[in-house]
Amino acid sequence: MRESLRTRLQSCEARFEELEAQSADPSIIQDRNRSKALFRELGGLRGIIAAYRKYGQVQASLEEAREIVEGGGDPEFVELAQEEIPVLEAEAQRLELEIETLLLEGEDEVGSRDAILEIRAGTGGEEAALFAKDLARIYERFCQRKGWKMKLLGYSESDLGGFKEAVFSVSGEGVFRILRFEMGGHRVQRVPVTDSQGRIQTSAATVAVLPEAEDVDVELDEKDLEFQTTTSSGPGGQHVNKTQSAVRITHIPTGLVVFCQEERSQHKNKARALKLLRSRLFDLERQKVEEERAHQRKTQVGSGDRSQRVRTYNFPQNRVTDHRIPGKNFSLEKVLDGDLDPLIEELRLLDREERLRDL
């Protein structure tokens, strides 16, 4: 095992023991927010420490078997030790790989969370808005394939029915760990419906994926919030146009604004808007951490840099190119149908290789 990996594991073990001691402290247990954060961190470390301690036992047995072989003595014991060595070496190698994987998952503290998915039209006018709606449809089909729930929180529609912007919540197993690879600039090359001369145009949209924040992550002070209520717009019949059910919240210190109108109840819209605001504030802090880590890495496959062009959807050539994956193209038809797994699996492998260099 590499010395850098061993050092990190020793730090994890010390932290685990510290948290175990704190978990018996009544003052922490009675504090809901502190205990929730503590047990989440403790749970994340438990698997790592169990594998590390088992690895230590295997290494001790391996060392003992090697000493028996080197020392000679009873031929029967020597033969048994010789047979045991390759088995123990294979088990040690398996455990080391398991520990590396667990450390990577542990480093990704928000990977198991639900997510907020934001899609915004970029350059290209109406065609960009139509492309943004196409992206939303791709993700809707992808979520159906994964058994996830995707719910519209708010949107702004263009004249031709595209999305100027749309915000969704996505819930399911490991949502953020997978969807984070979609963050960045997406562009499309095709003949727009608005072009009567059949010329190919390039348009763009941006995708942001935020880990859903919990109350314990971000404390909101009422004096920092400005609330406004308006009538909802869009489909939903007369009710949405007559009641003050839509909610807009401005976070004064940062200038962040969130808007939610999809529920008939003002109370529910307010709750959803606060959840969205927490997620955006939490993401701001998370991005600062990622930027600090970026200085230590040459590349970041899943960094979520929204200014980075990550993917091109080329309709004339019927292919999708992800610019982070060298030398490969993917079927446009399959991607439009929500089959993103082959693409995302390639990105996960590249990301794993990059992160392993830091262990």
- Residue 236: its pLDDT value, please? 44
- Range 112-359 has CATH code 1.25.40.10: no
**Which pLDDT score is estimated for 351?**
85
Instruction: Report pLDDT for 349.
Output: 84
What residues does 47 pair with on adjacent strands? none
Residue 197 makes CB contacts below 8 A (sequence gap 6+) with: none
CA-to-CA distance for 12 and 176, rounded, in angstroms? 24
**pLDDT reported for residue 205:** 95
* Residue 54 backbone dihedrals phi, psi, to 5 degrees: -65, -40
pLDDT at 317: 95
Who contacts 257 (Cβ-Cβ below 8 Å, separation ≥6)? Answer: 248, 249, 250, 251
Question: Would you list the DSSP string of 11-56?
Answer: HHHHHHHHHHHHTT-HHHHT-HHHHHHHHHHHHHHHHHHHHHHHHH
- Comparing C-alpha atoms, which of 232, 197, 211 is closest to residue 169? 211
Split the chain (359 residues) into runs of 10 and give each run's mean pLDDT: 85 92 87 79 86 95 93 86 94 90 73 88 93 97 96 90 93 88 94 82 93 74 87 50 75 89 81 86 77 49 58 96 94 97 91 76
Calpha distance 349→156 (Å, rounded): 36
Helix (H) or strand (E) holding 211: strand 201-211
What ranges do the domains of the chain cover? 3-107, 112-359
